[in-house]
Amino acid sequence: ILNVEQSPQSLHVQEGDSTNFTCSFPSSNFYALHWYRWETAKSPEALFVMTLNGDEKKKGRISATLNTKEGYSYLYIKGSQPEDSATYLCAANAGNNRKLIWGLGTSLAVNP
């Protein structure tokens, strides 16, 4: 069974702080790593899909890196804003059947 773990479970930061969180996954039979942003009362929205070891992707103030050999990905938010408050989900796609396995998310609260 493929387990995807995210840490920390929750995080409170002040506006302007930079922050990062971790997604870890078994590295065997890895195919892709997804990051999603999930605001309260809405549905998850895709941020990044990464497949290659060493991949680094960026969207505005949010970026992500991928290490498939050691089985982890970091999501970074530079200069957090209150509108960044959300749960950030990662999901790993691996194994023969290529189904996504989801982590429980990191809940980020940015205080103005």
Partner 1 sequence: NAGVTQTPKFQVLKTGQSMTLQCAQDMNHEYMSWYRQDPGMGLRLIHYSVGAGITDQGEVPNGYNVSRSTTEDFPLRLLSAAPSQTSVYFCASSYYGTGGLGGYTFGSGTRLTVV
DSSP letters spanning 79-96: S--GGG-EEEEEEEEETT
- Please say which residue, 18 or 51, places its beta carbon nearer to partner 1: 51
Contacting residues toward partner 1, per CB under 8 A: 4, 31-32, 34, 36, 42-49, 51, 89, 91, 93, 98-105
Minimum distance from CB of 27 to partner 1 (Å)? 17
Identify whether the C-beta of residue 10 lies closer than 8 Å to the C-beta of residue 106.
yes
**Least distance from C-beta 43 to partner 1, angstroms?**
4
Amino acid at position 23, single letter = C
